[in-house]
Structure 1
Amino acid sequence: MIHAEPARRRVALLPLPGFSMLALAGVLDSLGAANELQAEVVWQGECLSVAGGPVAAGNGALLHTAALPPDADWHAVILITADTAPCDPALAARLKRWAADGVVLGGIDAGAAQLAACGLLDGQRACADWALLDSLAEAHPRVAWANGLWEISADGLRLSAAAGLASVDLCGAWLASQHGERVGQELAQLLGLNGLRPRDERQRAGYSERRGAGSPKLAEALALMEANLGEPLPTEEVATLVGVSRRQLERLFKQHLDTLPSRHYLALRLARAQRLLQQSSQSILQIGLSCGFSSGPHFSNAYKNHFGHTPRDERSRRALAWRPAPTPGDPP
């Protein structure tokens, strides 16, 4: 009896400078698990870039990529990046051509921002890392930005996910749509997970619950803070909204987090600012104002006191990550 050869589906993975190694590994591991769970299709993930060569990840590691071939039969192309700035014009032109050809296009972390900049997500739901959603909604108002973990368009041609392991949740759901729910369920088990998280699970929901474990009032206060990073609430107002006195709220923070509410709130706002400095193209002043600081100097001083360097220094580090690694023989 002659057995038919399995179909081969090539997936181009395009990590851009500053990308998350965890997000990339999630896609590669998901494709590999799918190959173990069914025999009709062989999924082949390939790490590529426009020019080829090393690409610096957000953690400083260098990933070797092959040059993107001019013509290839791609089933899907997935952008993995932490930057919202429009991608290289040559890559943008290819994305539009692939879209016209019916290739599945995906974006992880800030990857959907690249697709949105090309007009490829107009009228559709999409998601990205939570810290970028406000700026993306302003930059691309024709996209319905969601705070969930992943999105798959109704026709299955557009994929998007938040940062980190949301790439596994997205790929699991996508591969389940190709091969059946059994593959999705067993894929999670094969990767050592209890299960795949649903599309609409909020990215930050687990933070408040985890940090406020054992204290519903603390968890509620944390959720209020996270929801109001751009216009911070006074401690007194947070306490009133939660239904405790200011003194009680301070005791909860001291008992569970060993800090004061105001200090924790400031740390949350600065963490969001750091993420935006690393991943968005907004100006330093815009980022400071969007994170609740009244002026550029106020933002810069608070940032330096917390991280030990200024927002401008943070941006300089990001610029270095975009600089290509030197090759042997290059002048110093």
Structure 2
Amino acid sequence: MKKFRVVFVLLKHFSMASFTNAMDALVTVRLVNPEIEIEALSCGTDGERVVCDLGIEVMVEPLPRTMDDFQFDMLVICGGYRTPLSPDPRIQALMRSSVQRNIWVGGLWNGSYYMAEDGLLRGSEVSIHPDSMALLAESFPMTHPSDRAYVIHNHFFSCAGPSSAMQVMIEVCGQIFGNTVQRGIQVILACDMPQSEGPSLVRREEETRLPYSLRLAVELMRNNIEEPLSLEEIACYANLSRRQLERQFNRYLMVTPSKYYIELRLKQAKRLLLQSSIPVIQVAVACGFVSSAHFSNTFRKLFGISPNKLRFQQSTAE
């Protein structure tokens, strides 16, 4: 009997759905092929319990210090919507050891951030939850956030959320154990999943129903946060006049282009403040604000709290 060992690193507020979906795919391998035994170890980085995104405490084992403590074949970092993203030397050490031994390494939800942090995905695409894309792009410019629900590259894989956690693990199982096993898992677990040519795109809000020119304008704004474009430039690139641009924003989004753009930048700033320890002034610059005073004032008007106070509340809540 072939034994395949997997270490799940459950970060604080990890997504229970992502974890169980990935685990479900792995456990089903045994149902498809009784000759394969899956052994999974759930580990935490602090204490004997980890609180998931549902508020449920999960019992965990201590994180192995080296691969000699627990010989494993796959390492999976499982994050969630509210997972604090900060360096952890123990996770980095495990990932480096895994890479040296050509072991599979994966990230679920924003667990992919830790793979990028260690330089494993330099120059590669990485799938991560849309709300963590801003932090990933700002922190690791050599890594490319993907609009794909999941990405598999060599022995690395990443996914954006719970549904794609099952999809990516099924496909990874196919690469490890063969197509027959993959098809068997799909019959059991993925019989109700829509069929497609590949991983589905991560859709944002209801943008797919907007006119093409407006979708293009929104994408231009999203891709030019640090150095904002003028409305004239956006209109030109979208093949619209400024007046046409304003009409489309008012008709479909019920807001002016200027207000939409500034709120887009401020929401990105808020994500960076909550998900990282980047200095407030650096967050302001990363979101296109030259003056820290202007940034603070506009931030307070939108969210009812200053950037510094938000950062303080976040640090005291941890």
Please state which band the TM-score falls in when normalised by the shorter chain: 0.7 to 0.9
Map of 1:68 onto structure 2: 62
| Matching of residue 235 in structure 1 with residue 231 in structure 2 | yes
| Structure 1 residues 33 and 248: CA distance shift in structure 2, 3 A | farther
What per-residue deviation string (whole Å, max 9, x for no partner) do you get for residues 276-331 of structure 1?
22223322221221112222222222222222323234333443454xxxxxxxxx
Query: What is residue 325 of structure 1 aligned with on the other side?
Result: none
Change in Cα spacing, 1:202 to 1:277, as seen in structure 2 (3 Å) is farther
Give 4+ residue runs of structure 1 displaced > 6 Å after superposition: none
> Displacement of 1:78 after TM fit?
1.0
Equivalent positions of 1:46-85 (< 5 A) are 46-57=41-52, 59=53, 61-68=55-62, 70=64, 71-81=69-79, 82-85=83-86
In the alignment, the residues of structure 2 paired with residue 186 and residue 300 of structure 1 have an alpha-carbon distance, to the nearest angstrom, of: 55
Partner SS for 1:240: helix
How far does residue 9 in structure 1 lie from its aligned partner after superposition?
A: 2.4
Provide the C-alpha distance between the structure 2 equivalents of 1:62 and 1:207, rounded to a whole number of angstroms.
Answer: 29
Select which of 4, 13, 22 maps to 2:8.
13
Measured after TM superposition, the shift of residue 174 of structure 1 is 0.9
Whichever residue aligns with residue 87 of structure 2, its letter is P
- The farther-off stretch of 187-196 and 269-278 is 187-196
- Contact 2:280–2:307 under 8 Å retained in 1: yes
Partners of 1:312 and 1:21 lie apart in 2 by 31
Query: What residue number does 1:86 align with?
Result: 87
Opposite residue 146 of structure 2, the aligned amino acid is N
Contact 1:185 1:195 in 2 (8 A): no
- Pairing partner for 2:218 from 202, 206, 222: 222
Alpha-carbon distance in 2 for matches of 1:284, 1:224: 25
State whether residues 188 and 196 of structure 1, in contact with CA within 8 Å, keep that contact through their aligned partners in structure 2: no
Q: Which residue of 2 aligns with 1:132?
A: 135
8 Å CA contact 2:16–2:54 kept in 1: the answer is no
> CA contact under 8 A between 1:18 and 1:321: conserved in structure 2?
no
Instruction: Decide which of 137, 157, 160 is 1:159's aligned counterpart.
Output: 157
CA distance in 2, matches of 1:307, 1:316: 15
Q: Distance in 1 between matches of 2:90 and 2:85?
A: 17
Equivalents in 2 of 1:36, 1:251: separation in Å? 57
SS at match of 2:73: strand
Q: What whole-Å deviation, never above 9, does each CA across 1:229-254 have from its counterpart, x for those lacking one? A: 22222223222221222222222222
> Structure 1 75/197 Cα, relative in aligned 2: closer, same or farther at 3 Å?
farther
Tell me the equivalent position of 1:111: 111
SS, match of residue 305 in structure 2: coil
Partner SS, residue 12 of structure 2: coil
Q: What TM-score results when the alignment is normalised by the length of structure 1?
A: 0.76
Q: Which amino acid aligns with 1:77?
A: L
Rounded to whole Å, the distance in 1 between the matches of 2:103 and 2:267 is 36
How far is the alpha carbon of 1:91 from its aligned partner? 3.9
Q: Spell out, residue by residue over 1:88-136, the C-alpha distance to the aligned partner (whole angstroms, 9 max, x if none).
A: x3443344344444432222344344345445x2766351532233223
DSSP 3-state at the match of 2:60: strand
Contact 1:55 1:64 in 2 (8 A): yes
Residues 25 and 272 from structure 1, CA distance in 2 versus in 1: closer, same or farther, beyond 3 angstroms?
A: farther
CA distance, structure 1, for counterparts of residue 185 and residue 36 of structure 2: 15
Q: Which residue of 1 aligns with 2:25?
A: 30
- TM-score, length basis structure 2: 0.79
Q: Aligned to 1:300, what secondary structure does the other structure show?
A: helix
C-alpha distance in 2 between matches for 1:80 and 1:184: 22
Runs (5+) with no aligned partner, structure 1: 323-332
CA distance in 1, matches of 2:184, 2:266: 39
CA deviation digits over 1:60-87, x for unaligned, max 9? Answer: 7243231226522322111123454321
1:207 aligns with 2:204: yes
Equivalent AA in structure 2 for residue 134 of structure 1: A
